[in-house]
Homo-oligomer: A and B are copies of this chain.
């Protein structure tokens, strides 16, 4: 997507470079706001959360930030005390070079686990970055945070006089738990901290947290929003809708670019007794490797949806006799699995987005989640990632 100057929020600058962390692609991003911003963040719940996550969590306690560092190609996780001091040194260098107070700088990392940063190279590469910051280039920023991503992920919206831009990365180790891969939102709208918090978390929860690639939860999941206020106030409901639209758009981009994925799977479960139940069932379906491989091969093996629902331990209150299983508008269960249906199903499963719709016929709640198929490409990518 092309960004014009008119779709970029005011008062942000960016710096992107290659520090030689893994190879010659961009691996470092710094986004700076001209002024201190209202900020919120949602992070991985992993036991082995990385140093970047613990530092950013701490620096966000006052709901304020002015800059975000993103390092890609090395997650700086499971490196013990030295991982923390390395991250703190990087923040201190950027603070000294740019004049942004260290406690107003957030940091996020992504890449291999259990390897130290090449600190010599990083110190050399960051020298003088204060002078190299330029007007914000979010397209370049969305490239700099990629690891095995094939495409940069960026979306924008206008809200009143303000602009909102979001970027994301992530193609594997994606089963966010209260947080998500890496995604960053920047706006010049003026929004009070408590309002931002009341909008941001539910939005992430209904978008990125409904996305699964492989049930593996990253140690580095991070979602952050900075609102610097330079464009003044906006209508809260308009901002909420714009933020949801961007987050939803980025979520689908991540699903489409997932490691080895050839198709997006959307699972909608309705008439559940509550949202948690609907989501649990939907996740069981979208995460089933046997559903995912069937979708990959466009194999009309819809029975695997029943199997995947069946393993939801907590779904005991569901009566299989009342369940309806559809792909698009084709009803497969109950009583509809004939040859003609299977042929139609094969065609529906050949599309690049496959929609599975399950009705539980218990209550009123529904949930939609996203995932992708499982192909040989996922295996290929992940059997030789670290080397």
* A274-289 to B contact mask, C-beta < 8 Å, 1/0: 0000000000000111
13 residue pairs bridging A and B, Cβ less than 8 Å apart? A47-B311, A77-B306, A78-B333, A113-B301, A113-B303, A216-B290, A216-B308, A219-B307, A294-B382, A297-B384, A299-B383, A299-B387, A375-B383
Asked if residues B47 and A310 are in contact (CB atoms below 8 Å), the reply is: yes
Across the A-B interface, give the 3 residue pairs with the lowest CB-CB distance, nearest first: A113-B303, A297-B383, A48-B310
CB-CB under 8 A from A386, the residues of chain B are 294, 299-301, 303
**Given A47-B318, A75-B303, A293-B382, 12 other A-B residues pairs in contact with their CB atoms under 8 A:** A48-B307, A78-B303, A78-B334, A113-B306, A114-B303, A172-B290, A215-B288, A216-B304, A216-B307, A219-B310, A289-B378, A300-B387
CB of A126 within 8 A of chain B? no
Interchain CA distance A309-B332 in the complex, whole Å? 38
B-facing residues in A358-382 (Cβ within 8 Å): 374-376, 378-382
CB-CB under 8 A from A48, the residues of chain B are 306-307, 309-310, 320
Report the interface size class on chain A.
35 or more
CB-CB under 8 A from A310, the residues of chain B are 44, 46-49, 217, 219
Q: How many copies does the complex hold?
A: 2
Using known A-B contacts A113-B307, A307-B46, A311-B175, determine if residue A384 contacts B216 with beta carbons closer than 8 Å: no
**Which residue on chain B has the smallest CB distance to residue A336?**
B114
CB-CB under 8 A from A217, the residues of chain B are 307, 310-311
CB-CB under 8 A from A173, the residues of chain B are 290, 307
Q: Contacting A114 at CB < 8 Å: which of B216, B297, B337, B375?
A: B337
Interchain CA distance A77-B300 in the complex, whole Å? 16
Smallest beta-carbon distance A349→chain B, Å: 11
* A37-72 to B contact mask, C-beta < 8 Å, 1/0: 000000011111100000000000000000000000
* A150-189 to B contact mask, C-beta < 8 Å, 1/0: 0000000000000000000000110101000000000000
Smallest beta-carbon distance A50→chain B, Å: 10
* A97-114 to B contact mask, C-beta < 8 Å, 1/0: 000000000000000111
CB of A3 within 8 A of chain B? no
CB-CB under 8 A from A308, the residues of chain B are 216
Smallest beta-carbon distance A220→chain B, Å: 9
CB of A218 within 8 A of chain B? yes
Using known A-B contacts A46-B310, A299-B387, determine if residue A289 contacts B333 with beta carbons closer than 8 Å: no
Asked if residues A289 and B216 are in contact (CB atoms below 8 Å), the reply is: yes
Q: Contacting A315 at CB < 8 Å: which of B47, B80, B219, B300?
A: B47
**Residue among A177, A215, A307, A313 with the most chain B CB within 10 A?**
A307
CB-CB under 8 A from A294, the residues of chain B are 382-383, 385-386
CB-CB under 8 A from A112, the residues of chain B are 301, 303
**Which residue on chain B has the smallest CB distance to residue A218?**
B307
Interchain CA distance A289-B259 in the complex, whole Å? 12
